Amino acid sequence: MTADPDTGARPGPDGRPRCHWALATRDEREYHDTEWGHTVRDDQGMFERISLEGFQAGLSWLTVLRKREALREVFAGFDPSTVAAYTPADVERMLTDARLIRSRAKIEAVISNARAALDLPGGLAGFVWSYAPDRAPVPRTPAEVPATTPESTAMAAALKRRGFRFVGPTTAYAAMQATGMVDDHLADCFLRRPSSP
């Protein structure tokens, strides 16, 4: 996702101003408009977002979006209880499925993370939300949107201590953005929440 770092939101096909990264394709625009930054407070929804952000490592977000339905299918809608029971045979089956991101390390991480999520007292969503910042600056340009924050660094470290994989500070911050823990819609994006700090 690249853009001129000195510009704010730009108009999409319908004339409404959007964040720079959402303008290249219909898939990205739809995700931006209907999901990104919306509050996710349930464990299954949080597990999906963390898993998808882990799959993105080294890839474009568009690649993940276009494989999302297949990933949902093979990971049982990202239900942690179901995924935690997957076996090495399930991993081998997924590695032969051309619809997926066929990274053994990432697939095995999702299964391992499901098991770790089930061990969290209070659930995954509650654990993750405990790292939400009280306030965050309002970004006016893409350059003002951070890749990591002290909160995402702390959250990543805490998840790793509990057995999670593919959850570095950048991945953790992307999950925070995706689940509404922070509002990183640009100041002039039509989806910027008026009540955001």
20 is known to lie in a ligand binding site? no
- What is the average pLDDT across 121-141? 94
Residue-level pLDDT at 195: 59
19 is known to lie in a ligand binding site? yes
Q: Is 31 a catalytic residue?
A: yes
Give me the percent of the chain exceeding a pLDDT of 70: 95
Token digits of residue 103: 């990274």
Chain centroid to Cα 76, Å, comes to 18
**Confidence band, pLDDT 50/70/90 cuts, at residue 8:** confident
**Would you say residue 6 has pLDDT above 70?**
no
**Residue-wise pLDDT tens digits, 110-127:** 999 999 999 999 999 999
Domains in the chain and their CATH numbers? 43-178 (1.10.340.30)
Which of the following is catalytic: 28, 48, 53, 151?
53
pLDDT top residue among 163 and 12: 163
**Would you say residue 73 has pLDDT above 50?**
yes
32 is known to lie in a ligand binding site? yes
Which of the following is catalytic: 21, 61, 129, 173?
61
**Residue-wise pLDDT tens digits, 82-102:** 999 999 999 999 999 999 999
Residue with tokens 């690249």: 2
pLDDT top residue among 7 and 189: 189
**Would you say residue 60 has pLDDT above 80?**
yes
Element of type H or E holding 72: helix 61-74
Residue-level pLDDT at 9: 85
Residue-level pLDDT at 136: 85
Q: How far, in Å, CA of 1 to CA of 24, rounded?
A: 9
Q: How far, in Å, CA of 28 to CA of 14, rounded?
A: 15
Which of the following is catalytic: 31, 36, 86, 131?
31
